[in-house]
Amino acid sequence: MSLRLARLFTATLIGLSASATALAAGPQLIWRGDVTTARGVVTDVAKAYEKAGKGKFELQPFNTASGIDAVAAGTADLAGSARPGIGGKEQSLTFTPVAWDGLVMVTYPSNPVSNITLMQLHEIYMGHITNWKELGGDDAPINLYAVASPGDGVEWSLRKLLFGRGNQPVAAPRLYVNQSKLEEGVTLDRRGLGATTLAGMGNNAKLKALSIDGVKPTASSIASGAYPLYTELYLVSNDASPKAADVKEFLAFVTSSAGSSLLRAHSLVPYADGTALASGDAARRAKIASTVGTRATVGQPMTTPTVAAAAAPAAAAEAAKESAVAKATPGKGKAPKTAAAAAAAAEASPFAHVIASVTTTAHQAFRGVRVEAFTASDNAKIGGKFAKVTGDAVTVAGKPTAKPAAAPSAVEKANTVETPKVSSAPVKAEPKKAEAPKAVAKAAAAEKKPAATGGKTYKVASGDTLYSIAKRNNVDVNQLRAMNGLKDNNVKLGQVLKVSAR
């Protein structure tokens, strides 16, 4: 062997030895969680972490629930989630927000529909809009896809924004185990529609992301707050874990300049760059709630309070203070710029301070729930987590969408706060038999009487919704609601609405 060859061989061995030493440095960390966080946050950052000689990673992307369960059980050191903790055993875990991502609706690339409104999205999930032609597309049914797990981060966060609660049942019969499988289903279905994240879908040319209210989901529109469906991505850890110190070192690496650069490469906004998104979250939710006709979330800020306080004390404290008082503004025009202004402008609700609690032998899923009006009863006998939960109903073609619940028992009455009637027309007492003809005639006349005098009116026909009436008469849905003194989006067959001031 020549001297030069020997030197090269020796240098190679030294280099390999140094590399092995670097890779061996630090413990191996196991990460498990949703595929969207894996794609956007963990995969590239973990590679850079290993390359820096800080430790090794084993990645197990699957779904949100499996990751959180694994961290709680001690079989994983970190989990990924597109939602905050929602109680139970998750209260003992730490949810650290590391980035902002966009919740996006994806469909088949050749679908002619490129934009939908928040109201249309709400109605699709409620099962009131079921055909693409109602959105300006082909005359074909909308095949709505969703992830089966009730605790999935993407589904939970989207439903929280649209309905005020992340566990809202929706009209999505096609269910998958995670976003990856959902996306695969949409790429094969020209009529498909489903939710994922901007970073999660990446540059997948087989998927088309829809704009919301004319705003395309991009890193810049998310960072500015112009795109309304933004959400936080979390890394979940257990402070009681024997590897807690190593996990904190990795979290520091994710939020470092090197980690932030990798996040931006996946169209993510590093968490520290989005303090304005956190402070404006309550006002955003109030605006969405006003638009779709639901109630804004009260007392539940998006950001995990302890984590936010550590990351940005002033912004988090202000966000928590504002979100505790923010309500949906049913009023006119644009929503107020701040949550405090939204709360001041909102109409006082007789249920604003109701705290509902439920005693049940079936489960404790609703313990400590704080809402404006909440009705629930023990479902141990019939099963089903939401089997007897009642809330605002939507009237379609003059008929309620769901059958009324059975009369509650004495125990249920003691533990129940009844949800108010949702029909916009006042309920009239049943006339006495002797004067039935005259009373019925009066009731019918009152029913046909316009909601307001003066201006153009419209009589609700079969299949009408408040949104379709507003669109047909070229009026904003918020103005239509205000002109007729409506508290929500419910309309009744035969009801006469005022659709213009003159």
SS (H, E, C) 66-132: HHHHHHHHCCCCEEEECCCCCCHHHHHCEEEEEEEEEEEEEECCCCCCCEECHHHHHHHHHCCCCEH
- 57 touches 31 (CB < 8 A): yes
For the segment 64-83, what is each residue's pLDDT rounded down to a tens digit? 999 999 999 999 999 999 99
Q: What is the pLDDT of residue 493?
A: 85
Report DSSP state, residue 370.
B
Q: Which two tokens stand for residue 192?
A: 């498909």
Q: What is the pLDDT of residue 303?
A: 42
Mean pLDDT of all residues in 464-472? 79
What is the dihedral angle through the alpha carbons of 340, 341, 347, 353, rounded to the nearest 10 degrees? 0
Same fold for the pair 101-230 and 433-498? no
Q: What is the pLDDT of residue 344?
A: 42
Average pLDDT of the residues of the chain: 73
Q: Which residue has the higher pLDDT, 252 or 373?
A: 252
Mean pLDDT of all residues in 107-122? 96
Mean pLDDT of all residues in 94-102? 95
Q: Which two tokens stand for residue 195?
A: 């939710």
- 375 touches 389 (CB < 8 A): yes
**Burial degree of 160 (CB within 10 A; 0-12, 13-18, 19+):** buried
Q: Which of 50-59, 367-376, 492-501 has the highest mean pLDDT?
A: 50-59
Q: Which residue has the higher pLDDT, 468 or 131?
A: 131
Would the pLDDT of 99 be above 50? yes
Domain 24-97+237-270+281-323 has CATH 3.40.720.10: no
Cβ partners under 8 Å of residue 62, min gap 6: 32, 33, 34, 35, 177, 178
Q: What is the pLDDT of residue 88?
A: 81
Q: Which residue has the higher pLDDT, 210 or 379?
A: 210
Q: What is the pLDDT of residue 462?
A: 76
What residues does each domain of the chain span?
24-97+237-270+281-323, 101-230, 348-422, 433-498
Rounded to an integer, what distance in angstroms lies between the CA atom of residue 433 and that of residue 419? 30
For the segment 414-434, what is each residue's pLDDT rounded down to a tens digit? 444 343 343 334 444 444 444
Mean pLDDT of all residues in 9-30? 51
Q: What is the pLDDT of residue 45?
A: 93
Q: What is the pLDDT of residue 26?
A: 60
Domain 433-498 has CATH 3.40.50.1100: no
Partners of 60 in beta bridges: 32
Where residue 376 falls among pLDDT bands split at 50, 70, 90? Answer: very low
Helices 43-51/257-264 angle, 10° precision: 150
Q: Which of 36-50, 319-333, 482-496 has the highest mean pLDDT?
A: 36-50
CATH superfamily name and code, 101-230: Periplasmic binding protein-like II (3.40.190.10)
Residue type, 181: K
Lowest mean pLDDT among 33-47, 154-168, 475-489: 475-489
Q: What is the pLDDT of residue 177?
A: 86
Would the pLDDT of 203 be above 80? yes
**Burial degree of 472 (CB within 10 A; 0-12, 13-18, 19+):** exposed
Would the pLDDT of 307 be above 90? no
Q: Which residue has the higher pLDDT, 407 or 356?
A: 407
Rounded to an integer, what distance in angstroms lies between the CA atom of residue 186 and that of residue 191? 8
Q: Which of 158-172, 300-314, 381-395 has the highest mean pLDDT?
A: 158-172
Where residue 59 falls among pLDDT bands split at 50, 70, 90? Answer: very high
Mean pLDDT of all residues in 384-403? 40
Partners of 79 in beta bridges: 32, 236
Helices 153-163/281-292 angle, 10° precision: 70
Would the pLDDT of 466 be above 90? no
Q: What is the pLDDT of residue 456?
A: 87
Where residue 25 falls among pLDDT bands split at 50, 70, 90? Answer: low
Rounded to an integer, what distance in angstroms lies between the CA atom of residue 414 and that of residue 412? 5
Q: What is the pLDDT of residue 489?
A: 72
Would the pLDDT of 60 be above 60? yes
Would the pLDDT of 369 be above 60? no
Would the pLDDT of 306 be above 50? no
Would the pLDDT of 117 be above 60? yes
Q: What is the pLDDT of residue 442?
A: 52
